[in-house]
Amino acid sequence: MTTKTIESLPCEMTTAELALKSSQMAAKLAELNGLEANKQQVTKQLGEDMKRVKLQLDNVGVEVRSGIEYRPTECYEVPRYRDLKVDLIRNDTGEVVRTRAMHANERQEALDLGNPEAREASNEH
């Protein structure tokens, strides 16, 4: 009894088959080049992402070790006309954050022209 089978055996290709295989090879080479370029871009992006996360980790570590975190905090400036300084004061604690020299345009005190706010500002000094 004969049994039919199929085997993969070497066969000579025709010119048309060789041309088709050459086109397939060129397409696969272009695909490989595209994948390599994509790999480089992804690797670059991953490296940048890792640097960003490491920096964030370092910053959080400093905050944990110091117990201090910088946050937007409402402050107000209080002029000191006697010594021409301006204090920056935290609204939440009343602490003087820093003192700076008064700018030239800030050196004239508000005149009391019946304005209760102007009277109050000049009474504080």
The pLDDT of residue 51 is 98
Residue 43 lies in a domain: yes
Residue 60 lies in a domain: yes
Residues 81 and 117 in one domain: yes
* Statement: residue 99 has pLDDT above 90: yes
Structural domain including 33 reads 14-70
Residue 92 lies in a domain: yes
Q: How far apart (Å, rounded) are the C-alpha atoms in residues 119 and 113?
A: 8
Residues 27 and 45 in one domain: yes
Residues 80 and 114 in one domain: yes
**pLDDT level of residue 107 (50, 70, 90 thresholds):** confident
Structural domains of the chain, count = 2
For residues 110 and 122, is the Cβ–Cβ distance under 8 A?
A: yes
Residues 19 and 58 in one domain: yes
Q: Which residue has the tokens 């954050």?
A: 97
Residue 1 lies in a domain: no
Outline where DSSP puts E strands in the chain.
Answer: 75-80, 85-90, 96-101
The pLDDT of residue 124 is 55
Residues 79 and 66 in one domain: no
* Statement: residue 94 has pLDDT above 90: yes
**pLDDT level of residue 113 (50, 70, 90 thresholds):** confident
* Statement: residue 16 has pLDDT above 80: yes
* Statement: residue 115 has pLDDT above 70: no
